[in-house]
């Protein structure tokens, strides 16, 4: 039998033999819809322009189910879909697979909910590139869950995850990339080294990622869901188009005439959006270009509550945070109402009014 194609990683890896063998022997499976299932889901949708506006409660109740692959948009602290995450935690969802490139507070919030009550929210596995807070520090709950062996991981690079969503958005089963090969990710993730049929050189294939539900927050959209993004696109257009269903929150609904005036500015077309919710400050405490900068003290405070739990095992303060700010709130607006106007004003000024086009 022909040896499988690979780099020379085995001659240098320090990974334990069992981890490598486990991955080698596991048959490949998509951790969400297959390309065929994803195609069926898209075909089944009504393609007319319809008013997609709804509430977060309705959108989450309709699309978020146990066992789904949830594609989380944004990037670390930027344009992260925090309002949707709050609603998912209120509703509850078990055995989630999370897919993302890099995230911080959204996935920490889900992890905290799992630690407090795994019968209400639980994460089964995560396909990711990065989970942390950058300048603020490591993500304590991620470290807790992983070192305790409580969640399964599949590690890629930020490009790898982005390319996987892109492959999903393109409707293809995999995409070749020039990274992962020669690193330990080659041994443990679900990608595969092959010999390119055209160059006869090694090239690394990563499987497409099709989330069941993509969640993204955008600066502006019209009522049909056509979305315009300013600042970093992150991987939001790809996640939205790869997902079987997509929930979009937006800072502001703008007239459809504006969308038709500048169609080049549309990053997510209406057809892939299933539910649209106007939710100002929907990324708070994250940042949204053109609207507000991120709230550093809020990040620090939530992170310190989580870190205290990681170090002491005491759940009291964590429970208090969730009881007060998530379960104690009917809507995300109720949560925002707990933050003083002065703070909101400061964050608006912190963005320094980056220029955006809304008309």
Site residues for another protein, 11-30, by CB under 8 A, read 11-16, 18-19, 22
- Least distance CB 284 / another protein (angstroms): 14
Task: Choose one: 31-39, 198-206, 306-314, 338-346; the region binding another protein (CB under 8 A).
Answer: 198-206
Give me the least distance between CB of 323 and another protein, in Å please: 28
DSSP state of 26: S
Name which of 171 and 231 has its Cβ closer to another protein: 231
- Which residue in this structure is represented by tokens 């405070």? 301
Looking up tokens 């299933």, which residue turns up?
274
H or E element, residue 88 = helix 82-91
Reduced to 3 states (helix: H, G, I; strand: E, B; else coil), residue 331 is coil
Instruction: Name which position in 34, 54, 55, 202 contacts another protein (CB under 8 A).
Output: 202
> Interface residues for another protein in 27-46 (CB under 8 A)?
none
Comparing CB distances to another protein, the nearer of 54 and 358 is 358
DSSP string, 159-213: HHHHHHHHHHHHT-SEEEESSSTTSTHHHHSS-EEEE-TTT-SEEEEEE----SE
Instruction: Give the nearer residue to another protein in terms of CB position, either 293 or 332.
Output: 293
**b/e for 214-223, b at 16 or more Cβ within 10 A?**
bbbbbbbbbb
Residue among 344, 351, 357, 358 that touches another protein (CB under 8 A)? 351
Euclidean distance between the first and the last CA atom of the chain, given in angstroms as a whole number? 63
Q: Which residues within the stretch 290-309 sit at the binding site for another protein (CB under 8 A)?
A: 290, 293-294, 296
The side-by-side arrangement of strands in the sheet containing 202-207 is 174-177, 202-207, 192-195
- Work out which of 49, 170, 203, 300 binds another protein, going by CB under 8 A: 203
Please choose, out of 2-10, 272-280, 308-316, 333-341, the segment that lies near another protein by the rule CB under 8 A: 2-10
Would you give the binding string for another protein spanning residues 102-131, x where CB under 8 A is met?
x-------------------------xxxx
User: How far apart are the C-alpha atoms of 206 and 189, rounded to whole Å?
Assistant: 9
- Smallest distance, another protein to C-beta of residue 299, A: 10
**What part of residues 158-197 is at the interface with another protein (CB under 8 A)?**
158-160, 162-163, 166, 177-186, 188, 193
Give CA–CA dist 357/359, Å, rounded.
Answer: 6
* H helix or E strand, kind and range, residue 97: strand 93-99
Q: Which residue is listed with tokens 């700010």?
A: 325
User: Which residues, 217 to 246, sit near another protein by CB under 8 A?
Assistant: 230-238
Q: Does 134 bind another protein (CB under 8 A)?
A: yes
52-111 residues near another protein, rule: CB under 8 A: 74-79, 101-102
Separation between Cα atoms, residue 144 and residue 148, nearest integer Å: 6
């Amino acid at each position: 039998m022909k040896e499988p194609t690979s780099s020379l990683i085995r001659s240098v890896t320090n990974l334990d033999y069992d981890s490598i063998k486990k991955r080698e022997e596991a048959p490949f499976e998509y951790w969400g819809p297959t390309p065929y299932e994803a195609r069926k889901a898209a075909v089944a949708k009504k393609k007319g322009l319809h008013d997609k506006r709804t509430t977060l409660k309705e959108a989450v109740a309709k699309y978020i189910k146990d066992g789904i692959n949830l594609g989380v948009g944004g990037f670390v602290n930027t344009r992260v879909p925090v309002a949707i995450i709050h609603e998912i935690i209120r509703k509850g969802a078990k055995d989630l697979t999370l897919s993302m490139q890099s995230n911080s507070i959204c996935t920490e919030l889900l992890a905290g909910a799992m630690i407090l009550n795994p019968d209400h929210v639980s994460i089964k596995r995560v396909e990711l590139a990065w989970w942390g807070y950058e300048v603020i520090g490591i993500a304590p709950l991620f470290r807790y869950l992983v070192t305790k062996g409580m969640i399964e991981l599949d590690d890629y690079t930020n490009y790898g995850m982005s390319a996987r969503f892109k492959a999903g958005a393109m409707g293809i089963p995999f995409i070749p990339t020039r990274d992962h090969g020669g690193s330990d990710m080659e041994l443990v993730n679900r990608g595969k080294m092959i010999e390119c049929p055209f160059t006869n050189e090694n090239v690394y294939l990563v499987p497409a990622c099709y989330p069941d539900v993509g969640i993204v927050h955008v600066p502006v959209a019209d009522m049909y869901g056509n979305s315009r993004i300013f600042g970093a696109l992150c991987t939001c257009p790809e996640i939205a188009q790869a997902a079987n269903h997509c929930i979009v929150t937006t800072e502001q609904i703008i007239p459809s005439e504006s969308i038709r005036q500048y169609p080049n500015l549309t990053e997510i077309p209406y057809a892939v959006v299933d539910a649209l919710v106007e939710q100002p400050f929907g990324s708070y405490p994250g940042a949204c270009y053109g609207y507000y900068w991120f709230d550093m003290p809020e990040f620090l405070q939530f992170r310190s509550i989580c870190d205290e739990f990681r170090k002491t095992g005491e759940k009291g303060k964590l429970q208090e945070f969730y009881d007060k700010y998530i379960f104690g709130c009917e809507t995300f607006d109720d949560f925002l109402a707990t933050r003083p106007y002065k703070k909101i004003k400061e964050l608006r000024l912190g963005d320094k009014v980056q220029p955006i086009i809304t008309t």
